[in-house]
Structure 1
């Protein structure tokens, strides 16, 4: 168990986010993304096997590099690197921006893959809440879960799979076969974290309804995992998320998640974002308990 590593990595992200001002340091996820682009450009073929080679080669490289770094046993270096796998501050800041933006339609287009040109204010706000809830699992809880279990190696194996899924894990003509392996792996790795995220949302917002019914609505989503935190957030805030959504010029008849109001306001985004302050308090409290147990018990 790498409990101390989880705490310090989270607090580094809390304080510094993505370290955007570092001149001579490239974000590890950008490096992973560049490798995926390079492999696709050189070796793409409409084939499950080629997609497997992409996934296998990337994860092997990640495993070798992170294992070598772990051999040096420099805790602060590992915590620094693990913080790049956690996106709590960046996610919060990106979604928070929607509530104050003079051009929220443009800003939401930077966060979602749906068509944004004709979105109403309510649709923009809905997209912001949905992407926040879904990415709480992918960007916060899941990487912390794998840091806790497997340290630096676990953090970047997870982020490698997650980045693969976000780049090639689409069900379309180009990626249906090529991205299948990474999409399946992403479903497997997010299975437990997505459920933990939904439960945390229900607990932090003190919503019995969310706790009892997030699976009822979440299982309607085409994704094995994504609908669970979205449904938990909708139920906790008493709003209705999901519904017909336009992607690449075509309306996708998505199910609804939740039972509340359909007109989503900026105040609903702000309420959803309260998760971060509640989770921060949870982490601080847990860290204090950890320190007491380490030094006094």
Structure 2
């Protein structure tokens, strides 16, 4: 019941600005913890070992904090869980890109730049829409379904373990000279924790759009993605909307020619497809909520 109420609370309220303008969001605190470990341990030799120690320390701290918060009662547990879910804020951010695209391409580039890591200065309308929809699909898995899954598995300690791992991966899990060794453990552990949720997210998208006949194509395309997990929700979203995702994009001034996902889908896309992606986010979320309710009824 805790998870059901938390999902509903997050969907209704999202991220209240009045609260987070007065105090740091838990994600900010997690980022500070990862940054402190980065500054303290990412130096000298044996950096892969140091990065592994970092993840052990962060993971144990997250599990311990989760156990402590659980002892404070169900109200605290519901509030913390709702805060760590991101359904409403994800939909709001993606929808904002569609709204901006209706105003001007410049506004849209600024809006999509808040949710993607690629270069946006030369994006055309279809590039903006693809970026927003890809972010929607990937963050549905990372920000909603995976936290729900790990709460079901391990309660608040499981949820916090997932969130600190995902935060660490987003900060140090890069194949750069600075982080290739130190961030190895964060990246690999994040891949492991997202293994099931990413595929579950794809199943929820497929089920909520009744496109089971597309599953073989999704399963064939997903492993071609540069990420071992992100390809699953992205391939499912592409098929659900009948569009092509991924494709060429620019990072730090360098054009990378990624293959399209669902190459036969529409490539000339815009605000209407972003709206459809937001609808898909809610449909998948509703499917997840129904699944959680069924599990609660069966096991409790």
Q: Same fold (TM over 0.5)?
A: yes
Structure 2 vs 1, CA of residues 236 and 209 (structure 1 numbering), >3 Å: closer, same or farther?
farther
Decide which of 103, 119, 126 is 2:123's aligned counterpart: 119
CA offset digits 1:126-183 (Å, max 9, x no partner) = 1001000111100010000011111110111000000001111111221111110000
Equivalent in the alignment of 2:184: 180
Q: Residue 142 of structure 1 contacts residue 190 of structure 1 at CA under 8 Å; is this kept in 2?
A: yes
Equivalent in the alignment of 1:34: 32
Decide which of 122, 140, 143 is 1:136's aligned counterpart: 140
**Secondary structure of the structure 2 residue equivalent to 1:225:** coil
Structure 2 vs 1, CA of residues 121 and 27 (structure 1 numbering), >3 Å: closer, same or farther?
same
Using the TM superposition, give the Cα deviation of residue 290 of structure 1 relative to its aligned residue in structure 2, in angstroms.
Answer: 7.5
| Structure 1 residues 206-221: aligned runs within 5 Å | 206-221=210-225
Equivalent in the alignment of 1:67: 67
Q: Residue 209 of structure 1 contacts residue 236 of structure 1 at CA under 8 Å; is this kept in 2?
A: no
Decide which of 229, 240, 246 is 2:244's aligned counterpart: 240
Q: State the alpha-carbon separation in 2 of the partners of residues 234 and 249 from structure 1.
A: 26
Structure 2 vs 1, CA of residues 224 and 261 (structure 1 numbering), >3 Å: closer, same or farther?
same
Using the TM superposition, give the Cα deviation of residue 239 of structure 1 relative to its aligned residue in structure 2, in angstroms.
Answer: 0.8
**Secondary structure of the structure 2 residue equivalent to 1:118:** coil
Superposition CA RMSD, Å: 2.1
CA offset digits 1:176-208 (Å, max 9, x no partner) = 111100000000000000000011111111113
Structure 2 vs 1, CA of residues 293 and 256 (structure 1 numbering), >3 Å: closer, same or farther?
closer
Structure 2 gap ranges (5+): none
Equivalent in the alignment of 2:76: 77
| Structure 1 residues 1-297: aligned runs within 5 Å | 4-22=1-19, 25-45=23-43, 47-72=47-72, 74-101=73-100, 102=103, 103-258=107-262, 259-282=264-287
Using the TM superposition, give the Cα deviation of residue 42 of structure 1 relative to its aligned residue in structure 2, in angstroms.
Answer: 2.9
TM-score (norm 1): 0.91
- Structure 1 residue ranges, 4+ long, deviating more than 4 angstroms after superposition: 283-295
Structure 1 gap ranges (5+): none
CA offset digits 1:200-254 (Å, max 9, x no partner) = 1111111134323211111101211011110111111111111121111111221
Structure 2 vs 1, CA of residues 288 and 38 (structure 1 numbering), >3 Å: closer, same or farther?
closer
**Secondary structure of the structure 2 residue equivalent to 1:174:** coil
